[in-house]
Amino acid sequence: MTLTIRPATPSDLPLIAQLIRDLAEYEKLAHEVRFDEAVLQAKLFGARPYAEVVIGELDGTPQGFALFFHNFSTFEGRPGIYLEDLFVRPAARGAGLGKALLSHLAALAIERDCARLEWSVLDWNEPAIGFYRRLGARLMDEWTVMRVDGAELAQLGAGAR
């Protein structure tokens, strides 16, 4: 079995969109998927890309992806890579593709002089947590994710004007 990781291209947009939907279904969050493919394409492949995607293939067939972007650590004074989404299709799990995707991102972080690679995982997703721990990742128990979106984001943003 041949395993490859390659950068996504604009022609991969339908594949990326489907993998995002598949991930959302797995995470029981399909009802939260609201993206418009044209906007997604502009944000990933337009004049100012906001994120990057790599595609994982087994024997030339796309079976997973990782979507990531740079963040910045003020304490380190260096960038990091934030992994927004990692997904391997169920039929392809156990073939090493998830580890290969994370290894690719780790190598990219080193190449780009990043201080760290980090991501969030749903607290109920024990298989993923165990997988990540086996790769050397640790839970950041002392941190809580905060979010502002929708009407609250609009209201907070209106306060800046």
* DSSP 3-state of 147: coil
d(CA 71, CA 64): 23
Nearest to 137 by CA among 145, 125, 129: 129
- Told to judge if 26 belongs to the known catalytic residues of this protein, a careful annotator would answer no
Tell me the CA distances in angstroms from 158 to 19, 68, 85, 146, 154, one per residue in order: 35, 29, 30, 19, 6
Q: Which of 26, 50, 82, 132 is catalytic?
A: 132
3-state secondary structure of 28: coil
* Three-state secondary structure call for residue 74: coil
Assess contact for 15 and 55: CB atoms under 8 A. yes
Environment class of 14 (CB within 10 Å of its CB; exposed 0-12, middle 13-18, buried 19+): exposed
| CB-based contact 79:14 (threshold 8 Å) | no
Please give the positions annotated as active site.
132
